[in-house]
Chains A and B, each alone.
Chain A
Amino acid sequence: MLLIHCPYCEETLPEAEFTYAGQAHVIRPEDPSGQSDDQWQEFLFIRANPKGPHYERWRHFHGCGRFFNAVRDTVSDKFLTTYKAGAPRPDLSSLTEGLK
């Protein structure tokens, strides 16, 4: 079972307290009705499926209830970092450096 650090509670807790919430940094457009069919399709359905670091959302469902972002390596299943919703996407090279 994974251990996940909640950036709001500032505690590292068992995976069972959390729920997965899909890819991170998929921003809902300001004016959805102004979007073309292709753009809207991209927003709704197209997701990354990387082998390696993946930006994704989790929710501390059985804790504070907050959604937050994480970078998890899909090969090792290790969390490289977690950060608050709305915070900028962390630089991958600084995160993976520690793994080498």
Chain B
Amino acid sequence: MSQFRVAGKGRVDTGRPVTFTFDGTSYKGAQGDTVASALLANGVHLMGRSFKYHRPRGAVAAGSEEPNALIGTRRGKGRFEPNTRATVQEIWQGLETTSQNKYPSLKWDIGAVNDAAYMLFSAGFYYKTFMWPKNFWHKVYEPFIRAAAGLGVSPTEEDPDHYASRYLHCDVLIVGAGPSGLAAARAAAVDGLKVVLVDENPEAGGTLLSEPQTQIDGKPAWDWLATEIEALKGLGVRVMTRTTAIGYYHQNMIGMVEKLTDHLPDLPADTPRERMWRVRAGQVVLAQGALEKPLVFHGNDRPGVMLAGSAQTYLNRYGVLVGKKPVVLTAHDSAWYAAFDLADAGARVQAIVDTRDTVRDDLLAAAQERGIKVKLGHTATGTTGRLRVNSLRVNPVKGDAVGAAYTIACDAVLMSGGWTPSLHLFSHTKGSLTWDDDLTTFLPKDTPEDCVIAGASRGLWGIEAALNDGAEKGREVAAALGKAPAELAYAVEADRPGTGTTHKELPTDRSPGKAKAFVDYQNDVTAKDLRLAVREGMRSIEHVKRYTTNGMATDQGKMSNINGLNIAADALGKKQPQVGLTTFRPPYTPTSFGAFAGYHRGEHFEVTRKTQIDGWAEENGAVFEPVGQWRRAWYFPKTGEDMETAVRRECVATRASLGVFDASTLGKIEVKGPDAVEFMNRMYTNPWTKLAPGRCRYGLLCGDDGFIRDDGVIGRLSEDCFHVTTTTGGAARVLNMMEDYLQTEWPELNVWLTSTTEQWSTVALNGPNAAKLLGSLVAGVDLTDEAFPHMSCVECTVAGMPARLFRISFTGEIGFEVNVPAPMGRKLWETLWEAGQQYDICAYGTETMHVLRAEKGYIIVGQDTDGTVTPYDAGMGWAVGKKKPDFVGMRGLARPDLVAPGRKQLVGLLSEDQSKLEEGAQIVFDPNQPLPMTMVGHVTSSYHSDAAGRPIALALVEGGHDKMGETVHIPMPDRTIAAKITSTIFVDPENARLKI
């Protein structure tokens, strides 16, 4: 048995030894130990170095609130986790753990020079120390801070584990399976109510696990506990352990993370590491208990100085004595019981030092009985010991006078500054708090949620009080759910109720300016830092918090908030409630990214939409690009081709003979009904009344502000049916906008809107030979200029498939878009590919599509427009139906700013040095003006164009339409490029190539 293990104590199984390593050294623990309890059993208190000063630190607590003992855990490749609390991580055979924030070793750490240089690192040091000289920030300070800052080391390998996510609906959720939670569950589990009891620990019981001497209803606490858990399960209560309620969200939705494998020596196959539960509960009982506060005095962070309640937990739950010669330093009765338990287990308690002048007689008698010296009315003013405490310096206090100091030799200091009700989840509900002067803490008041709070988390102390309050709260929620639960009452013996007082930092006979009295261990914030923040003008607790970082570490101020508030309030000369409490936010304890991500990782991170032709593109070597959720073929490189070569080949081939393009991703909306044409007239800028069935028109969609929202070619298939196309990314947005106007502004219109994007596969054929190829496959349509002119549409069959055929062009060549029922898309594509071989048919991707359209000055909404461009700005006033009584955007286009001169207008740009301009580059009129220059627009599209024989660009330029032929300048990092403003049409301005 390890040196500090006590025979017959604890719930760990010493008959099942477990070997693990800490910083390369092998240690033995027992089944059921945490890393912290196992190390303490081996006499190891030094577990880490602090964040800022690199001071040696040990475990100060025994639960999830632990700020100091943060370790890295490893289980083979990819399974490394930093910042795990040693007090929570259960050991298993072969577990590897490492300490953090040290170099070269935990015992000899070079960063500890920060401790000697602490004057530099006081509150707000970031804002002060690193301000001068200015140019040092970038090159010296920031890299240094980046290297030194942060807790732990980020994992560098991909996480091989998987994480699950589930919903859970229940009538009553109880958070915390201590006495009040257990009693609440028992009371609420009536009449078929679905009750869930959740606890972050590996086993239920809470405080009962640390108070085995208690008798409940005549049974020893642990026997009662075992029977009660079985009874609850028998009643249908779902008891979930290793599960932390991390956040309380709207309308009783609680997020919970269940840890499934971190405690297991062998990973079971197909089991997630963690599971995120989204629980929707009818009623919630918060029974989270209370957290013990440290006392704030010089040297209160030395390894061996820990919370008295935690020492009691290490003894009773893990069978570990944290020291053989402990001294107890307290402001609360509870620590006296810790002293008694340790003394009874064989420790020689050196003294109980209480800050209070008087304590209960029975406590004094019990101390005397054990021969423990008692020092009342004392303060603590220091500790000694390099890597482990070896003495406590104490002084008697009379009124405001601190008397002469003396030291007490010890190997552990067990402190208690009283208890803070755990109000984290209650605060998440926007629950209001009220200050209690007697308890010197905040207590819960009202919450807008269907939620009650029970036991120690509302300031009640003692197991009997917690049990009975839990039972009452359980009945309360069951009654709220319409049930009539029975009354429950518990009789408890050997209970340990108690009271105490709370403090700001303890009084001292030394210079308080030199005291390192820690308030926030994890962020190394001292009492002096808090007072400095107030002196420097911080008034709100929120400012004090951010300036000092008190309570901002991963422990979220669980131990430091109230101590920090007491000190800040004292420095401000105000009462605590006037200073206020900082807000608790989820998650309650650090939570892995994996738990939040759940299944949404890798390929499942986002939906990838693929067209029916996507498989052909993949088989034929396409390079893809994402467009919204779609993946689209970007270009089709042949062996050895780079992107530029492939795109130039595709462009040339299409203009020379024939190109084929998968346009299936285009948004498609069917607008149908007796009022379809009226609806189209009102939505789109263009007039639609005179568009005959069988004809198409380019449509522009504006918002009521007059700016372009979307565009696309629209075919009128019959009097009452329009086939509307939208941009690929805009389809859902356009349909939403149409539905909005139809449902809420014009409900009298008899029109149906249907998304048909995925009903059709769309193949675009472009090039001088497009009609020749298609003519041989189309039945019932004569593909001539006379019978089927440009901008026509018809329902027909193509290669035997039912089709909607459009003669339209986004390239300036003879063009068709063939729509066939989606599943036939690949067959159509392959038929065209086969038949097109005689014309050297070329498959092209989105990049070639972009080049070909830019050569013709066709805009891409969202690239050449940015939400501030009107149809007139884009040079498309011709698409605006000026004679219509109204359309969406008509009034907007008459707004003063939209008709004012000097608007940015879409023009063509030709660089004078034949270079390809950079998309997004800013444009100026005068390149010699002083900095900062007045920018008058930017390049929106830029490509190399073989058809134009040079690079071309589109740009938005102030007053551009009146500046044809003028020169503008594009300043780049290395030079300034001059460019001439031109028309946006670079190829075939007469549209001669559209004719068959």
Contact = CB atoms under 8 A, between A and B. Distances in A.
16 contacts: A1-B250, A1-B253, A28-B704, A28-B745, A32-B704, A32-B891, A37-B896, A40-B895, A44-B704, A59-B736, A59-B739, A59-B740, A61-B736, A66-B743, A67-B740, A76-B430
Nearest to A33: B891
Contact of A40 (B249, B736, B891): B891
B744 A33 contact: no
B626 interface: no
A1 B736 CA distance: 23
Contacts of A9: none
A37 B895 contact: yes
Given A37-B896, A66-B743, A76-B430, A2 B891 contact: no
Given A32-B886, A86-B744, 7 more contacts: A28-B745, A37-B896, A40-B891, A44-B704, A57-B744, A61-B736, A86-B747
Contact of A21 (B250, B448, B740): B740
Given A33-B891, A40-B892, A85 B251 contact: no
A67 B739 contact: yes
A15 B430 CA distance: 19
B946 interface: no
Interface in B723-742: 736, 739-740
A31 interface: yes
Contacts of B430: 76
Contacts, number: 56
A35 B894 CA distance: 10
A86 B744 CA distance: 7
Contacts of A90: none
A57 to B, nearest CB: 8
A95 interface: no
Contacts of B895: 37, 40-41
Interface residues of B, number: 24
Nearest to A75: B430
Contacts of B249: 1
Contacts of A2: 250-251
A19 B744 CA distance: 15
A1 B251 contact: yes
Nearest to B887: A32
B890 A33 contact: yes
A84 to B, nearest CB: 10
A3 interface: yes
A65 interface: yes
A61 B755 CA distance: 13
B744 A85 contact: yes
A89 interface: no
Contacts of B542: none
Nearest to A69: B744
Contact of A85 (B250, B743, B891): B743
Contacts of A41: 895
Nearest to A26: B744
Interface in A31-89: 31-33, 35, 37, 40-41, 43-44, 57, 59, 61, 65-67, 76-78, 85-86
Indicate the member of A2, A21, A28, A43 with the most B CB atoms within 10 Å.
Answer: A28
Interface string B423-445: 00000001000000000000000
B635 to A, nearest CB: 35
Residue among B278, B744, B885 facing the most chain A CB atoms (10 A cut-off): B744
B705 interface: yes
Interface string B885-913: 11000111011100000000000000000
B602 to A, nearest CB: 22
A86 to B, nearest CB: 7
Contacts of B253: 1
A33 B747 contact: no
Contacts of A32: 704, 886, 890-891
A98 to B, nearest CB: 13
Interface string B459-480: 0000000000000000000000
A57 B736 CA distance: 13
Contacts of A66: 743
B449 to A, nearest CB: 10
A73 B249 CA distance: 16
B249 to A, nearest CB: 6
A28 B892 CA distance: 12
A3 B704 contact: no
Nearest to A27: B745
Q: Name, among A1, A32, A43, the residue most crowded by chain B CB atoms within 10 Å (CB to CB).
A: A32
A3 B251 contact: yes
B52 to A, nearest CB: 38
Contact of A44 (B251, B739, B892): B892
Interface in B69-88: none
B448 A76 contact: yes
B894 A33 contact: yes
A61 B737 CA distance: 12
A67 B743 contact: yes
A21 to B, nearest CB: 7
A49 B253 CA distance: 27
Contacts of A78: 448
A8 B749 CA distance: 20
A15 B250 CA distance: 10
6 shortest interchain CB distances as A-B pairs: A32-B891, A67-B743, A2-B250, A28-B745, A1-B253, A3-B251
Nearest to A1: B253
Given A1-B250, A3-B251, A33 B886 contact: yes
Contacts of A43: 704
Interface string B856-875: 00000000000000000000
Nearest to B741: A28
Nearest to A15: B250
A28 B704 CA distance: 9
B196 to A, nearest CB: 18
Contacts of A65: 739
A38 to B, nearest CB: 11
A61 B736 CA distance: 9
A74 to B, nearest CB: 13
Contact of A35 (B250, B740, B891, B896): B891
Contacts of A76: 430, 448
A8 to B, nearest CB: 10
A59 B739 CA distance: 10
A1 B279 CA distance: 10
Interface in B225-265: 249-251, 253
B818 to A, nearest CB: 30
A97 B303 CA distance: 58
A78 B278 CA distance: 20
Contacts of B448: 76, 78
Most chain B C-beta atoms within 10 Å of own C-beta, residue among A3, A19, A41, A57:
A3
Given A1-B250, A1-B253, A37-B895, A67 B704 contact: no
A11 to B, nearest CB: 15
A76 to B, nearest CB: 5
A73 to B, nearest CB: 9
Nearest to A4: B251
Contacts of B890: 32-33
A43 B703 CA distance: 13
Contacts of B894: 33
Contacts of A67: 739-740, 743-744
Contacts of A28: 704, 745
Nearest to A66: B743
A28 B737 CA distance: 14
A95 to B, nearest CB: 16
Contacts of A61: 736
A6 to B, nearest CB: 14
B678 to A, nearest CB: 15
A29 to B, nearest CB: 8
Nearest to A99: B448
B529 to A, nearest CB: 35
A41 B895 CA distance: 9
A13 B893 CA distance: 40
A89 to B, nearest CB: 14
